[in-house]
Amino acid sequence: MCGIAGYVDFTSNTNPSIIKKMTDEIIYRGPDSSGEYVSNGNIAGLGIRRLSIIDLKTGDQPIKNEDGSVIVVFNGEIYGYKHLREDLLKKGHKLKTKSDTEVLVHLYEEYGEDMPKFLNGMFAFAIWDEKKQKLFIARDRAGIKPLYYSNFDGIFAFGSEPKTVLLHPKFPKTLDSDALSTYMYFGYLPTEMSMFKNVFKLLPGHSLTLAKSGLKIKKYWNMAFDKFSDANLDELLDRAVTDQLIADVPVGVFLSGGLDSSLISYYITKHQRKMKSFSISFEQKSYDESDYSFAVAKHLGIEHFVEELKVAEIPKLFKKISEKLDEPLADTSLIPTYKVSEFARKHVTVALSGDGGDELFGGYPTHRAHIIADFFKHFPQRVLNMGIKMFSLLPVSYENYPLSHVGRTFLRGVKKEPLERQIFWMHTFFLDNGMLVKKPSLDFKKYLPKLDDFDSVKNAMIADFFTYLADDLLVKTDRASMFNSLEVRVPFLDHDVIDFAFSQDSRKHVSLFETKKMLRNLARRYLPKDVANRPKKGFGMPVGKWLRKDLKDFGKDTLSYNKLYDFLDKKQVMDLWEKHQKGAENNGGALWQLVMFSGWLKHYT
């Protein structure tokens, strides 16, 4: 795992000191070594900060091909790269290292811009072709590893995080008002947008080519719905975990005690008996999963480490994260993920995670709710309104998934079309009624496969894969882990597992009475029954409760930052705050979103 950055200037003004400044800004992504390359004629510059995982002695970057005409900087891991290496050697390529990075330059020599199709892994890389005078960058299919770019004033800059691009002295830093509206609606930034004008994410499964003739973006991967449908899921997961255990440094696992992380832990122990696992506990029981994590660790014989996230730690952790987080993210699991990464890093350099299990195998309550909604949508609106009113009469609750909130949210979304319904539910479950800006105009359909052939449940799963997973969960995990120089791998997002999961009929994943049916069937064979059968519990913090008590002063102080009200109406924000403090509404999600935005403003505008 690494951090990469660089830029191309066809007027031959590339400056090595600027490249070094760009990569030094993300030193936490790669504290072990650094490297820069500047092309002949000072046209292209590539930079790298390396966290050494494989081939510790000879794997430093940038890496070149035999004659030095193809150069790469690479963030991520290529699984099964040894097989690719063997094929390349048979074709006459000469490789000097044992790293997965070197495979990339030779694959590019062999297959050109089609080479990402051959890669199974998590990756973002940049290749400079000296002979053809062109830059080629690409990102993995699920978007596990980030890659941003900008084209300005005759310069093309790229990097693992937006802050690398911002450091170019000619870049005009301006907040994007459309991105702000989108963040205030979703709590994260979907699709290719960033918080800065003219800085974009390269979308997952895409590559970009830059030459003097211009810039070209290509989609190299389309989601398959008819691949591996008859494969054995047990064998696919076993192979994915085995591939992702390969490292020349200590490897552990995040074990929350939920279904996904518990299954990943089981497959690890099939091949590696001595294993350390890590999780976070909470004092508030509706958020705490530590009893389950200890039960799974005991069942599998894993050495388990748990640390409680105490409310008194939040201001300090918030400050640490805000100083590095160059895009606001309202996900309340960011701080717990940062803490578990921080203390896991004391023991290991790599951790496996259960991210992706819900999106691939139908794990969210909303997925099952679509089955119910397809029945309820035939009810007259006045009947649904009566139900919403009844749920509104229930007392305000600060527990995880309170009935009043869940019930209102469900009924408000019933009449919507499946895609719009899922987007609405996933927005409202976290942020509820705290809308402070106009709903952004965003056509998600152009970013998704054609959904007409699928039922509402599969529509929801596909939408979550391309939005919530790619732009919230994976961003959160990448930043929280990389800020602590920890590599996190996600076996559920192995390419074969993705293809298998989305090639199944949704009824194999979700029924009226059960989510994640295929994973639960596996879990019943290998894990304690109460783990296999337990409902979904989100990995977040009780911010609603904390902002009324222990974090009241912290929240009030953070929301008093004057610059916040250059963008938002102070009266509306204070109204949200007062209603929350009086217990009239639980506005915890919306207020936390503002807290994170305020922290971002303080450091990045």
> Residue 405: what pLDDT?
84
280 a known binding residue?
yes
Report helix, strand or coil for 441. coil
Q: Work out the burial of residue 550: count CB atoms within 10 Å of its CB; fewer than 13 is exposed, 13-18 middle, 19 or more buried.
A: middle
Question: For the chain, which residues score pLDDT lower than 50?
Answer: 434
Of the chain, the end-to-end C-alpha distance in Å amounts to 28
The 303-308 sheet, strands edge to edge? 303-308, 276-281, 251-254, 350-352, 487-489
Provide the 10 A C-beta neighbour count for residue 580.
Answer: 23
Q: How far apart are CA 480 and CA 321, in angstroms?
A: 8
Contact 249, 349 (CB under 8 A): yes
Report helix, strand or coil for 540. coil
> Residue 431: what pLDDT?
55
How many CA atoms lie within 13 Å of 56's alpha carbon, on the beta-carbon side? Answer: 8
Report helix, strand or coil for 406. helix
Query: Could you give all domains of the chain from N- to C-terminal order, each with its CATH number?
Result: 2-219 (3.60.20.10), 233-361+463-532 (3.40.50.620), 542-605 (no CATH)
Report helix, strand or coil for 132. coil
Q: How far apart are CA 460 and CA 458, in angstroms?
A: 5
> Residue 200: what pLDDT?
98
User: What DSSP string describes 261-323?
Assistant: HHHHHHHHHHH-SS-EEEEEE-SSTTT--HHHHHHHHHHHT-EEEEEE--GGGHHHHHHHHHH
Q: Is this prediction's pTM over 0.85?
A: yes
Residue holding tokens 């390396």? 50
511 a known binding residue?
no
Q: How far apart are CA 200 and CA 194, in angstroms?
A: 6
Q: How far apart are CA 602 and CA 605, in angstroms?
A: 7
353 a known binding residue?
yes
pLDDT digits (tens, 9 = 90+) for 506-558: 999 999 999 999 999 999 999 999 999 998 877 789 899 999 999 999 999 99
Q: How far apart are CA 322 and CA 316, in angstroms?
A: 10
What is the four-CA torsion angle of 326, 330, 336, 341, rounded to 10 degrees? -30
Q: In 3D, which of 124, 108, 121, 106 has the Cα closest to residue 30?
A: 124
Q: In 3D, which of 380, 432, 373 has the Cα closest to residue 402?
A: 432
12 a known binding residue?
no
Q: How far apart are CA 194 and CA 162, in angstroms?
A: 8
Supply the residues annotated as catalytic.
2
Cβ-Cβ contacts under 8 Å for 528 (sequence gap 6 or more): 295, 296, 299
